[in-house]
Amino acid sequence: MSDDGLLEVRDLNKYFGGVTAVDGFDMTVERNSITGLIGPNGAGKTTVFRTISGFHDPDGGKVVFDGEEITGKPVYEIVEAGITRTFQEARTFPEMTVFENLLVGKTGHRGEKLLPTTAGPKAYAEDERAAVEHADQLLGYMELAEKRDQRADRLAVGERKLLEIARALMTNPDLILLDEPMAGLPSDLTTDIVDYIERIREERDQTFLIVEHDMDTIMNICDSITVMEAGQTIASGTPEEVRNDERVVEAYLGEESA
């Protein structure tokens, strides 16, 4: 296993009460890759996601991102470091416009500081203007420009997925965690989202880590896949290697017979 991945997860542990959710989990996400994280239900994928993105504090192990340890940092600091995530049910701020949804993801958030001692009103105005420009540029990129001033809850489900990805891009991430991006989508929209993910990787030099149940999509889109079962890594490699791994086959057969 190489040690120069963009994201390195080492010996991660997480317990809930007496239940072990993640048990010495290891994973590397290479720069500019699309990496998949799969495993049977209850394997701990969601807990790994939540721990990397800062929603859970791990009980052991470490998460190193771009050479810097981010274990247990608050969510907004992890976003600042360059990791952002989406949610499986395509979360938006429903009563806000598409444009406002993006503004929330603006980097820096200088306007939130109580005493902007380092930045005068001029820098503040410049900051706001840059955020507006960035948001409009991303709306164009994700082909949502026409919906700019519509409320997010008026969007179709596919558009809401695109909005989530646009909001993620707004934070200027290096790594985007996608939590079941295909969930609830008809197959033609799945193809669309796959196209967007590949295009964003190419054109914007992004890295993706995807949790997904749709095996065809995962096998098709990922360069590398990590498989987990009962909180542990049981295999990692190319889709081809993983598909033929005995333990992986067993893990999934076990699920089907259960």
Partner 1 sequence: MAFDPQFLLNGVIVGSTIALAAIGLTLIFGILDFINFAHGEYLTLGAYAALVANVALGLPFVVAAVVAIPITVALALALDRVVFYPLRREGAGALSLLITSFGLSIILRNAVEMVWSSDPRRFDVGGAEAMAIAGVRITAVQIAIVVVSLVLMIAIHLLLTRTTLGVTMRATASNRSLALSSGVNTERIVTWTWVIGAGLTAIAGVLIGLNTVVRPSMGFGLLLVMFAAVILGGIGDPYGAMLGGLSIGIAQEVSVAFISASYKPAVAFTIMVVLLLWKPEGLRGADT
By CB under 8 A, name the binding residues for partner 1.
53-55, 74-76, 79-80, 84-87, 91-96, 100-101, 103-107, 109, 111-114, 128, 131, 153, 167, 170-171
Query: With left for phi above 0 and alpha for psi between -120 and 50, is residue 226 left, alpha or beta?
Result: beta
Q: How far is the CB of 232 from partner 1 (least distance, A)?
A: 27
User: In terms of CB distance, is 113 or 204 closer to partner 1?
Assistant: 113
User: In terms of CB distance, is 78 or 182 closer to partner 1?
Assistant: 78
Contact at 8 Å (CB) between 122 and 201? no
Q: How far is the CB of 192 from partner 1 (least distance, A)?
A: 22
User: In terms of CB distance, is 111 or 184 closer to partner 1?
Assistant: 111
**Phi, psi (deg, nearest 5) at residue 50:** -70, -30
Q: How far is the CB of 65 from partner 1 (least distance, A)?
A: 15
SS3 65: strand
CB-count exposure of residue 115 (10 Å: 0-12, 13-18, 19+): exposed
Contact at 8 Å (CB) between 36 and 194? no
User: In terms of CB distance, is 116 or 239 closer to partner 1?
Assistant: 116
User: In terms of CB distance, is 9 or 79 closer to partner 1?
Assistant: 79
For every residue of 182-229, DSSP letters joined together read: TTT--HHHHHHHHHHHHHHHHHH--EEEEE-S-HHHHHHH-SEEEEEE
Q: How far is the CB of 97 from partner 1 (least distance, A)?
A: 9
Start-end of H helices in 58-186: 75-81, 98-103, 121-141, 157-170
Q: How far is the CB of 241 from partner 1 (least distance, A)?
A: 32
